[in-house]
């Protein structure tokens, strides 16, 4: 991303590498749980390939992993929009930059 700074809920105007609060903070435990489950699914896929499982079964599992990962992304995107973007728009805090960032993220995310 071309943005050197991040403007997120609770953190204000901070460098990307500095610690700040993300709008997905309250969902962090749930996101971590879901990502661990996806990690397990990917390991299962690797095992399926190593065991020469039927191609269609592998493809079905790949579709499940993609769907689960997409849902995690949607959750983070929604949280970002409702938190970080909405806050920037309400405070008139670099609103155009935040809108441009959101558009770029949407373009990248919809490529999945």
pLDDT at 43: 99
Q: What are phi and psi of 12, to 5 degrees?
A: 65, -150
Spell out the domain ranges in the chain.
Answer: 25-109
Interval 76-103: pLDDT, tens: 999 989 888 888 888 887 788 888 999 9
CATH architecture, domain defined by 25-109: Up-down Bundle (1.20)
- Please choose, from the candidates 72, 64, 57, 59, the residue with its C-alpha nearest in 3D space to the C-alpha of residue 41: 64
For 99, the token pair is 């809108």
Interval 37-69: pLDDT, tens: 999 999 999 999 999 999 999 999 999 999 999
């Amino acid at each position: 991303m071309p943005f050197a700074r991040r403007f997120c809920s609770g953190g204000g105007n901070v460098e990307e590498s500095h610690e700040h609060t993300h709008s997905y903070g309250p969902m962090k435990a749930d996101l971590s749980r879901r990502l661990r489950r996806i990690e397990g699914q990917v390991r299962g896929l690797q095992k399926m390939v190593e065991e020469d499982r039927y191609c269609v079964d592998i493809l079905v599992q790949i579709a499940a992993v993609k769907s689960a990962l997409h849902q995690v992304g949607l959750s983070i995107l929604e949280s970002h929009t409702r938190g970080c973007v909405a806050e920037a728009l309400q405070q008139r805090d670099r609103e155009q930059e935040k809108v441009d960032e959101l558009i770029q993220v949407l373009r990248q995310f919809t490529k999945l």
